[in-house]
Amino acid sequence: MPFDPRLREGETDRVRLLGLEFDALDLAGALRAIAARPADAPFAYVVTPNADHLVRLAREPDRLGPLYHGAWLRLLDSRVVARLARAFGLPVPPVVPGSDLTAALLAPADREAASAIAPGERVAILGMTPEQVATLAARTGLSAIAHHDPPMGFERDPAAMEAALRFVERAEARLTFLAVGSPRQEMVARRLAERGQARGTALCIGASLLFLIGAERRAPLAVQRAGMEWLWRLAQDPRRLARRYLRDDPAILALLWKEARAARRRSA
């Protein structure tokens, strides 16, 4: 089956920002779109780029661009980017954090509203330890989970990458959660789409499942709404995140400024 990177069951409005066409869907709209895709639908995947993703994408467009452009849904996962873009006068898509999307799909309290996972339905998870998956099952009530935890650096090991791809293809789950970090999870999703053997919908969700089970602490809701979740995460793990948040991600300001300046020139 030929790979169509823009395959959709219904077009949505899109907002262009920093070279990506983001879908103009809020959380409820994204949930409806995902829930509407059956298990035997041609494989498609969801990405939720944040500031870090967008900075890396700008630096490596040839390598990373196809991973994001090939997604079925692209949802903005950064209140900071949204606020800065708005301040620069740029169009801004709705913010749908990947962690919120994951929680809404998996939390028992949200099942009825989302209509995304039926009782006893099989889901697939790439990443996490067996112990963490067991905790997830206990907390969410999921009773059928296919799980594979690839080794560190699997994206550079052809045999390990092939094992990850075959796991998703053989799991035959309607929903697959790719929880191996960016850009590894997007690399897996893109390869699956190109191979054309998998079915259903995959979500590139990073650490979202770890937040859901409490393995990593997410910022309080007030901190999230203030756009300061990055500072909370930095305080929780400064050694790992200091370079990302303090050295790399501030480049988002320059990227947005350049885009706003180019937009003003076009309209002049």
In sequence order, what DSSP letters do the residues of 23-90 get, joined into one string? Answer: E---HHHHHHHHHTS-TTSBPEEEE---HHHHHHHHH-HHHHHHHHHT-SEE-B--HHHHHHHHHTT-
For the chain, residues with pLDDT lower than 70 are 1-12, 108-115, 216-249
Q: 61 in a domain, yes or no?
A: yes
3-state secondary structure at position 189? helix
Q: What is d(CA 220, CA 79) in angstroms, rounded to the nearest whole number?
A: 14
pLDDT at position 250, please? Answer: 75
Give residue 44's pLDDT: 98
Classify residue 30: in a domain, yes or no.
yes
Predicted model pTM: 0.86
Q: Is 217 left (phi over 0), alpha (psi -120 to 50) or beta?
A: beta
Question: What DSSP element (H or E) covers 229?
Answer: helix 229-236
Number of structural domains, the chain?
1
- The per-residue pLDDT for 181 is 93
pLDDT computed for residue 119 by the predictor: 80
112 lies in which domain range?
A: 14-215
- CA gap 262, 230 in Å, rounded: 28
- Does residue 152 lie in a domain region? yes
pLDDT value, residue 115: 46
Burial of 10 per CB tally in 10 Å (0-12, 13-18, 19+): exposed
User: What pLDDT is stored for residue 226 in this prediction?
Assistant: 61
Collapsing DSSP states into helix, strand and coil, what is residue 129? coil
Residue 24 forms part of a structural domain: yes
Would residue 245 count as lying in a domain?
no
Whether 250 maps to a domain, the answer reads: no
Residue 42 lies inside a defined structural domain of this protein: yes
